[in-house]
Structure formats: structure tokens, C-alpha cells
Homo-oligomer: A and B are copies of this chain.
């Protein structure tokens, strides 16, 4: 049997954190289609598959960033989708899951994201304006957002890749028109709290203590995701 992990070796991620075009400290310039496509290749490599939502997400991050302008402290981000958007946010903004500057609220399940200033909660939210997507002018993009692509496309493989390329191509002709921006304030913002640590009385590993409990969530059974082999 071949080592399937090896398959991952072919992906090559090379990403430069978002270059902000500035003129007199203004951050208003947005990316060209060429720049979006360059980021798209990086995002596909990181994501380990080609997904048109990445290209759309790139333009969304870029437009939010341009509208938000300078931030006082740290840039933070929220993804409302469980898929795709988190990856472009992480690659482009330096807000990662591990540094906790990005949060995924995938339960909302909208294709939307928000960039905000951690100092004051001032943010810009980008979402898709479905009414602006023409079924005649950009049919594959329309089907993509309404989840109406053909069964052959849904099955994956070559058909899906072809459809994905077409979705990106159509998207680039209308991108500013279908992405809507909202100025928002985040309800809870600021530096995320790091909980105190304690020694779990069952597994004897150190764990972050939420409420003076003596066992970690795994040993207490609250979040027991594995069993011994």
C-alpha cells in the first residue's frame, strides 16, 4: 500500500501575508484580478484542493481590508462559514486558528466574513448579495451559490474542477457587484482570555481549567473523542 500521506508532498504552500497597498496611509486600493488569481493558487495549495470559494473569499478579505483601513491594535477576523473562508483569512491576514485572531462561527453557515479591530470592535463584514448574481450572465456562479450545479459536478473529479474554474472566471467579471460590505461593531472583542492550568486527576495531563474542575473535558466524558486502540 502506498503511503497516502505522501500525496500531501506535492502541495507547495508559499504565501506572503497580505500586501497592503497604501497611499498616504490610506488602505483603499483593492486587488486586480491577476493578484486575486495569484492568491488563489496559494490558497488552493494550502487548502489542498481547488475550490472556487477560495477565490471569492480572497476578494472578500481584500475588500474588507480596504474598507476597514488602519486598525489601532490587532486585526482580528470571523468566518461565518465552516468551509473555505477560514483558509483565505489565515493566509492573507495573519489571523490564524493557533494565534486565535480568527474565530470560526461556522454554525451560522453564511458565506460571509468580518475583519475587525481588536481594540474597539470596529469591523467590516463582507457577504454575498444573491440578488445581484445573474442566472443568465454568470450561470455557473449562480448555480454555485444556489447549490444547483449538476450531479456530474457534485460527483467530483474533472467535471468539478472544470466547473470550479468557470465559477472563478465568471466571478471575476462581477466581483465588486456581488460582494456587499457592512460596517459593523463586534459584540465581544478584545484579547481572548487564557485560562489557568491545572493537573487532571485522571490523566495527569495539564489542562486549561474553565471552572475549578478537577478533570479535563476528555476524562470527565464531556468531550471524549477517542478510545484506546
Contacts and interface: CB of A to CB of B under 8 A. Distances in A.
B225 A78 contact: yes
Interface residue SS majority, chain A? loop
B104 A4 contact: no
A210 to B, nearest CB: 8
Interface in A1-58: 1-6, 8-20, 22, 25, 27, 46-49, 54
Identical copies of this chain, number:
2
A136 interface: no
A228 B93 contact: no
A212 interface: no
4 pairs of A and B residues whose beta carbons are closest in the complex: A109-B208, A87-B98, A183-B229, A86-B97
6 contacts: A3-B25, A5-B70, A9-B17, A47-B98, A110-B206, A131-B204
Interface of A: 1-6, 8-20, 22, 25, 27, 46-49, 54, 65, 68-75, 78, 80-88, 90-91, 93-94, 96-101, 104-105, 107-112, 114, 122-123, 125, 127-128, 130-131, 145-147, 182-188, 194-197, 199-200, 203-210, 216-218, 222-229
